Amino acid sequence: MTTPEFQLSFLNKIQRLFAEGDFSASYKYALLIAIADIAVEAGRDDDQPLVIPHRSLGAKFIDLYWQQSAPYRNDALLIQNNGTQAAVISLIAQFRGQTHATTAFAARSVDGFKSLLTKVTRIVVDKPVFHMQNLGGTRDQFLFASGADSITLLPGVAYCLRRFQPLVQQLARSHWIVHIKSNKLNHAVLGANDDLESFLFQTPRKALLIIGEGLKRLSNCRCFYCSGKVADADVDHFIPHSLYPQDLAHNFVLAHPACNRSKSDTLAALPHLERWLEYITRNDASLQEIGAEAGRTVNLESTRAVARWGYGNALSGEAQAWVQASLYEPVTQSYLKVLA
């Protein structure tokens, strides 16, 4: 297991990455988010290296940039490079125009997607992967080693990315937003009051409506947490979006607005967790259909892996889990046993 000194050194290097790295485009922010996500979805809580295929990074880039390759306002794309438009944005925008694919998930079954993935992957390897670890004019290989077809996260790195994933995500996203806002070519498009963060990273309202309608049919309009009938329901991330800000179809549940507000950004208590694990297994096929219709990521095992990661971190941090309004209980080893 990594030592506290190693973890502190890792965080210092991440801080240096943002302060001293060359961010002429937004690619490095996307790469950091991508490897942090993969560490959560595929990594383990040990200090072993983690091999990540280049094409997995390319696929993550398409997911991250898909929403951003649509016009932001008045048919204008946001510029994500200090010079000409970022090539990944141009490639995805061109693909969208040619195929009329509405979501990144739907795009995977469209002719030409493999070609798009190959082109995006090559850019990822040639640009952010090659330049990521250049700090202050020198090369500091602290994240990964590069191979012919993959990168390998160095010993302890996957553990730290899992341990500090919410912080890494928040830093990368906030710097990404500043990067776009600071580009003079975007000023006329953004205007004085913008919803840039929502446009870049949040679940589109249309997708939430589709998910909500699907979950209503699946649950007979009953709240997952209190089982009460609900007409004006919320779509809740069972593993809070603040912990893992990516959309996984199996992570959505229907919630009474009061339950959703009360639970907020906390993990749910053991009885809810046990019911959720049974729920996503029993309704796997239906949740896959809902996710596909909404264009969200559909992967039951990835969702379970995210849950194991989330509750594992909660146990290490001696966190409390939400039972009901104003009632919490400590996360114990029992939580991890049901997730094993």
**Per-residue pLDDT at 159 exceeds 80:** yes
What pLDDT score was predicted for residue 319? 96
Label the pairing between strands 320-324 and 327-330.
Answer: antiparallel
Domain ranges in the chain? 4-201, 205-339
Neighbour order of strands in the sheet with 144-146: 50-53, 150-153, 144-146
What pLDDT score was predicted for residue 164? 95
**Partners of 139 in the beta sheet?**
134
**pLDDT tens readout for residues 16-47:** 999 988 788 899 999 999 999 999 999 888 99
What pLDDT score was predicted for residue 250? 97
As a whole number of angstroms, the distance between CA 101 and CA 110 comes to 8
Q: How many CB atoms within 10 Å of residue 330?
A: 12
Cβ pair 2, 43 in contact under 8 A? no
As a whole number of angstroms, the distance between CA 329 and CA 320 comes to 5
**Per-residue pLDDT at 301 exceeds 70:** yes
Mean pLDDT, range 170-184, rounded to an integer: 94
Please list, in sequence order, all residues whose beta carbon lies within 8 angstroms of the beta carbon of residue 263, skipping any fewer than 6 positions away: 225, 236, 255, 322
What pLDDT score was predicted for residue 195? 84
**Partners of 297 in the beta sheet?**
248
Mean pLDDT, range 68-96, rounded to an integer: 92
**pLDDT tens readout for residues 115-130:** 999 999 999 999 999 9
Q: Which range (160-174, 177-191, 267-281, 286-300) has the least confidence?
A: 177-191
What pLDDT score was predicted for residue 191? 79
Phi, psi of 180 (to 5 degrees): -70, -40
CA-wise closest residue to 156 among 316, 10, 313, 314: 10
**Per-residue pLDDT at 192 exceeds 80:** no
What pLDDT score was predicted for residue 286? 97
Q: Which helix (H) or strand (E) holds 133?
A: none
What pLDDT score was predicted for residue 325? 95
User: Quick one: tokens of 150?
Assistant: 């993959």
**Per-residue pLDDT at 51 exceeds 90:** yes
Residue 174: pLDDT band (50, 70, 90) is very high
Q: Token match 């995500």: residue?
A: 169
Output DSSP code: residue 153.
Answer: E
As a whole number of angstroms, the distance between CA 122 and CA 140 comes to 22
What pLDDT score was predicted for residue 294? 95
**Per-residue pLDDT at 220 exceeds 70:** yes
Residue 193: pLDDT band (50, 70, 90) is low
What pLDDT score was predicted for residue 224? 98
**Per-residue pLDDT at 194 exceeds 80:** no
Please list, in sequence order, all residues whose beta carbon lies within 8 angstroms of the beta carbon of residue 21, skipping any fewer than 6 positions away: 28, 132, 134, 135
Mean pLDDT, range 92-98, rounded to an integer: 96
What pLDDT score was predicted for residue 335? 98
Output DSSP code: residue 246.
Answer: S
Output the average pLDDT for the chain: 94
Q: Token match 């104003």: residue?
A: 326
What pLDDT score was predicted for residue 83? 79
